[in-house]
Amino acid sequence: MNYRIIDKETYYRKGVYRHFTQDCKCSTSMTARIDVTALAAHSKETGTRFYLNFLYILSRVLNSREDYRMAYLWQTDELICYDVIHPTQYVFHEDTETCTPVYTEYREDYEAFYCHALEDVEKAKQTREYGLDAANHPNWFDASYISWLSYDSLNIELPDGYLYFLPIINWGKYREEGGRLLMPVSVRMNHAVADGYLIANVFRLLEKEMADFVRRI
């Protein structure tokens, strides 16, 4: 786990950061549908799991820009940027209707990421423990698939004033609309380090990265 400390006096969002960490502590979230037609077809053709392919693309997107790798150290009142962030995915157990968090390391190499992510999922299926260990996984972002619903909106609430900066990402079932497969994705970030542009940019980057992934792999 490596990070660098951001000088808050020279931070390019200095004024925004001060306002949303002192005057108006709040978060912002956005839900939009993205076209996953090509990724779904590619996953079927290659015999790979759509879910893990999307998780790789999402991790790649969030690691592509420093704004998505920010964190706040309350112990020292420091703004930091991690070198890399990893996805915390979840396994749902049908018998107990509970989830187990799965800490998967992001690897830029797709095949390595896919292999390890799959192993992590299979291992998590063998336990029914919640096993959340955020203290030892500070640079992990939340990536949760809501497989039962193709929803229209979703909002994640955190305690008022809680300066949690890493992205929280949810996505649901894709559904066919006009001959295309559209999937709802929700992005939640703290307003101190992200605004409407930066959140909307996640969706734009996802669409671009999916197109590149299908061509590249």
Tell me what pLDDT residue 133 has.
92
Tell me what pLDDT residue 1 has.
66
Domains and CATH numbers, the chain: 3-216 (3.30.559.10)
Residue-wise pLDDT tens digits, 103-157: 999 999 999 999 999 999 999 999 998 988 988 999 999 999 999 999 999 998 8
Query: pLDDT at residue 160 above 80?
Result: no
DSSP code for 135: G
Give the closest residue to 215 by CA, choosing from 41, 60, 59, 58: 41
Distance CA 83, CA 69 (A): 7
Residue-wise pLDDT tens digits, 8-63: 999 999 999 999 999 999 999 999 999 999 999 999 999 999 999 999 999 999 99
